[in-house]
Every structure is written in structure tokens, then in C-alpha cells.
Amino acid sequence: PTVLILNGPNLNLLGEREPTIYGRTKLADIEKSCKKRAKELGLAVDFRQSNHEGELVDWIQAARRSHAAIIINPAAYTHTSVALLDALTATDLPIIEVHLSNIHRRERFRHHSYVSLAATGVICGLGAQGYLLALDAMATTLRTQEE
Ligand code: DQA
């Protein structure tokens, strides 16, 4: 089974962008550690980033046929995008929403997530580790589905 890991706008700048909030780890490092962990869990990973809402919507729509699950850090679209919410709701795949920072400890406008309305679970505030925790949880979810 292949897990689609989606990253939203500005996450391509990870490592350089507000390191006090998001850390020094680059997105390419997160991709590498996700692929390693997925392998250990018997999963494959398709890791992508886009700054474009519509491209993320297209990928989510296509995943309904090609992927077993979605892990998504929607970045700023978390707080604005009904389109991402609708696309995610239309898949019947398990979905885990991940944020590097603890969005509840930040500005008020970050406290609300449209995406959470479609998410099976949410992980936030644990930095890059959150992606690995999401993969662990997804492996269990997919195993349980099979039974
Ligand atoms: C983020 C949190 C969002 O509020 C922000 O817009 C991001 C990254 C996170 O991973 O902590 O770009 O999703």
C-alpha cells in the first residue's frame, strides 16, 4: 500500500523559513525519514509539495484510485480552504492531518482547521516527528482495515 504525503504552500522553504517555529529540518530530510519509516512499516510513500491549491485538489482527487491513505500538512490552506476540505471529504481514504507547530498555541486564525472536518486524526506541535507518528498510526489503521 502507498501513502500519499501532501505538503502545502511554503513548506518548500522549510529549514530557512521561521526556524524558531518550524525548525531547521528541510522538507527533503522529512521526505527521507518518511521513506525510511514507511519501508520499516511495509508501506510505500509518495511525497509531494505544492504551493497551488488546485494542484493539491487534483492530487487528492486522483488518490482515490491510486493510494491507500493520505497524510497531509495543508499549511496555510488549513485555515482557508473549503476546496481542500471538500476534496478530502470525497475520498473514503483514512486521512491524518499534520502540523509541525502547535497551531493552538499560535495566532487565533490558526486555531481553526477546515481540513480537520475530514481528518481521521490530527497531529500537531511535534515538529518533523509528527510525520513519522502519522505513518505509524496509518500503518495500524490500514492493518485494522484489512481484518
Ligand atoms: C503549519 C501551520 C500553518 O498555520 C502554517 O500556515 C504553515 C505550517 C505547520 O506545519 O505548523 O505553513 O501547517
143 is in an annotated binding site: no
Q: Which three cell numbers stand for residue 140?
A: 495500524
**In the chain, what's the furthest Cα-to-Cα distance?**
44
pLDDT digits (tens, 9 = 90+) for 108-134: 999 999 999 999 999 999 999 999 999
Tell me the pTM: 0.97
4 is in an annotated binding site: no
Cα(97) to ligand 1 centroid in Å equals 11
Cα(77) to ligand 1 centroid in Å equals 9
DSSP string, 68-110: SEEEEE-GGGGGT-HHHHHHHHH--S-EEEEESS-GGGS-GGG
Pocket of ligand 1 (CB under 6 A): 10, 73, 75-76, 78, 99-101, 103, 110
- Cβ-based neighbour number of residue 17 at 10 Å: 12
Cα dist from 73 to 2, 40, 42, whole Å: 17, 22, 22
100 is in an annotated binding site: yes
Q: Look up the CATH number of domain 2-146.
A: 3.40.50.9100
Cα dist from 77 to 17, 33, 72, 120, whole Å: 17, 24, 11, 18
pLDDT digits (tens, 9 = 90+) for 47-56: 999 999 999 9
Cα(75) to ligand 1 centroid in Å equals 4
pLDDT digits (tens, 9 = 90+) for 49-98: 999 999 999 999 999 999 999 999 999 999 999 999 999 999 999 999 99
ipTM of the complex: 0.99
Distance separating alpha carbons of residues 108 and 24, to the nearest angstrom: 25
Distance separating alpha carbons of residues 118 and 124, to the nearest angstrom: 16
